[in-house]
Chains A and B, each alone.
Chain A
Amino acid sequence: MTLVYQILNGVQIGAIYALVALGYSMVYGIVKLINFAHGDIIMIGSYCMWFMISRLSLSVPLSALVTITVCALTGILIERIAYKPLRKSPRISLLITAIGISLFLQNTAQLIFTSNPRMFTNIFSGVIQIGDRAFSYTTIVTIVTAALITIALTQLVNKTKIGKAMRAVSEDNQVAQLMGINVNNTISFTFSLGSGLAAIAAILYISSYSRIQPTMGSMLGLKAFVAAVVGGIGSIPGAVIGGLIIGIAESLTKGYISSQLADAVVFGILILVLLLKPSGLLGIKYTEKV
């Protein structure tokens, strides 16, 4: 029975990794950029949610809505200010800019909120008993939300017009432009979508794990990035599967081997995947044309 609980623990954190990984994956798919500032959007979302709830005492749905909007706008703003001017530069410049933005956001947060962690109280209080172990409603809410979002996102990308535009830009943005697709708007939309998902991940994350601090996004972002790579960067179901694999691997390592090895196992999986199937489990393999 303990094994079932450990897997459930893993699915819970894995669902959060998946939500964050989706953002990485979509942005990578469309601008071929590993957006290292993505993890820090989670941090912004967490502080925003915390501020709405414990300082302004707003209701949960309203706070969540504000948080998602703030994050989506931040995503667009970052893209417009930092990445857009560099769209034609070498990819390494973009990557370095992304790291710079990440540091900028972290340090700004440190200035405003100090490095002292803040705690967030669970907004989905209550537990359900499964055998001799109880699970918080947050666990259930997290897993269900992640599942619904994945389905909705797949529908959005495959069935709607904007989804079609996203796929087109992702394939070749110059040709897409020639076909009359507004590339700038599509890219902005992708960034806002990714950041909005990060906001939802942030709300679920702090509801379960309470602690909010300026650097919280870096490790979470890194693990989600690993999840995205493991699942196949650019692929939506891949990001979800990657997230779950990482979450469950982490939980089982902590539960049965040693908590010190958890991170080693996560990054070990990354190395293995890169060695055996560099495009990821569900990734599309592109052949380089000479």
Chain B
Amino acid sequence: MKIARISAMLLCVIMILASIPACGDDANTIKVGLIAPLTGNVAVYGNAVKEATELYTKQFNDAGGVNGKKIKLIIYDDKGDPTEAMNAYNKLVNSDKIVALLGPVTSGPTFGVAQESANLNIPGITGTATHPDVTTYGDNYFRACFEDPFQGGAIAEFASDYLKAQSGAIIYNTSDSYSTGLKDSIAAKSKELGLNILATEGYGTDDIDFNAQLTNIIAQNPDVLFIPDYYNNAYLICSQARDAGFEGTFLGVDGTDGVLEIDGADVSVFEGLYFANHYAADDPSEVVQNFITSYKDKYGSTPNALAALGYDAAVILYNAIKAVDTAGTVELGATAESYQAIIDAIAATDMECVTGHITFDPNGNPIKDVSIISITNGAYSMAGKY
């Protein structure tokens, strides 16, 4: 009997003791959520963002965190699926009580999360969702990447200004909103600049035979060929175009990044290709080189553009949180005042980031440069900024 009572009391004491560090931990950490596709079709993107975000979280906390308090990153997998992203969002907001949100990574899942978070005015920033609609639901959502129309315009301007192209053609994926959106902006900007678009040809997502479209394009003999699509299709188009005798310059977009890493591809077809991107790995700027060195040290590979954008999103958010805490007028937490204070702090961002100098326009879109990368001798190199 006595033993039972003593052990019961002991158990109570242990339980109380056990709960104390948890309490202390809570008071000294600030919870930030990250939604990213860690498995599934776009897992490559999600993992790049996750790695970069974890890298910056560690750097930020090691450098003192938010005036002594540490950022605690809670990561959920959305598998690139809008429904999973909403589940993750609900978990983060309702049970984890986060102060702000990073992600999701691709545009599809971001629509729902951005729309829903507008109701509670939860500060959110996606590094990588390029679709124009993402930031339109409320003032609370930001992004670190440029929008699709913006880069489409930039690559057209590059063709006209730098390459002195007189004529061009566009081949695009009719069943992908990313590709069609870019086609529209390239066409619009080209018209404005007097760059003659001689042919606009479409294809479907699963098409792998582009000979019919390329035959029409080659018949017009344009100076440049715009290929607004992801790297795998870009490879098929470039190699078939070269086989069919196309001699002009290929121009790609941020989705083209990664062409040189395609397994088994004959990368010589990319020689002389230019594409718009978020950052250039050989950009001499100190911020960029520091990021690349620390990423390489930790993960052993050169970060891609998604990693750079994920990193920037974390940089912007954590510094905004720190600014709110330093100002001291609002206590950080899952409260409406804290949310609004962080949103205001993000909107006031004006800093040098990996993907360029970032300030925000009133819609939460960054105002920054587009890097143009060229492929020469089988390697990426920076050709200029637009």
Contact = CB atoms under 8 A, between A and B. Distances in A.
Contact of B213 (A121, A219, A255, A263): A255
Contacts of B266: 119, 121-122
Interface stretch (B214-222, B324-332, B365-373): B214-222
A261 to B, nearest CB: 10
Contacts of B175: 260
Interface stretch (B154-162, B186-194, B237-245): B237-245
B236 interface: yes
Interface in A239-290: 250-252, 254-255, 258-260, 262-263
Contacts, number: 98
A208, A219, A254 — which one has the most chain B CB atoms within 10 A of its CB? A254
Contact of A119 (B207, B211, B235, B244): B235
Interface residues of A, number: 41
Interface in A104-157: 115-122, 127, 129, 132-136, 138
Contacts of B4: none
A140 to B, nearest CB: 12
B262 to A, nearest CB: 5
A2 interface: yes
Contacts of A50: 264
Contacts of B174: 259-260
A2 B263 contact: no
Interface string B242-255: 01110000000000
Contacts of B204: 259-260, 262-263
Contact of A210 (B211, B218, B265): B265
A133 B41 contact: no
Interface string A180-194: 000000000000000
A84 interface: no
Interface stretch (A6-14, A59-67, A158-166, A171-179): A6-14
A53 B209 CA distance: 22
B232 A127 contact: no
A119 B202 contact: no
Contacts of B216: 2, 255
A119 B41 contact: no
A211 interface: yes
B208 interface: yes
A262 B213 CA distance: 12
Counting chain B residues whose Cβ lies within 8 A of the other chain, the interface size class is 20 to 34
A6 B206 CA distance: 20
A120 B206 contact: no
B211 A12 contact: yes
B243 A2 contact: no
Interface string B273-316: 00000000000000000000000000000000000000000000
Contact of A122 (B207, B211, B239): B239
B41, B201, B206 — which one has the most chain A CB atoms within 10 A of its CB? B206
Contacts of B137: none
Given A119-B264, A120-B264, A211-B236, A135 B244 contact: yes
Contacts of A28: none
A132 B245 CA distance: 8
Contacts of A12: 211
B262 A119 contact: yes
B175 to A, nearest CB: 8
B41, B208, B244 — which one has the most chain A CB atoms within 10 A of its CB? B208
Contacts of B245: 127, 129, 132-134
19 contacts: A9-B212, A13-B209, A118-B263, A118-B264, A119-B264, A119-B266, A121-B264, A122-B239, A132-B245, A133-B215, A133-B244, A135-B244, A138-B243, A209-B240, A210-B208, A254-B203, A255-B213, A255-B216, A259-B202
Given A2-B219, A6-B212, A254-B203, 18 more contacts: A1-B219, A2-B215, A10-B212, A120-B264, A121-B265, A122-B243, A122-B266, A133-B245, A208-B209, A209-B240, A210-B265, A211-B236, A251-B211, A255-B213, A259-B204, A259-B207, A260-B174, A263-B204
* 5 residue pairs, one from A and one from B, having the closest CB atoms: A134-B245, A254-B212, A9-B211, A136-B243, A255-B212
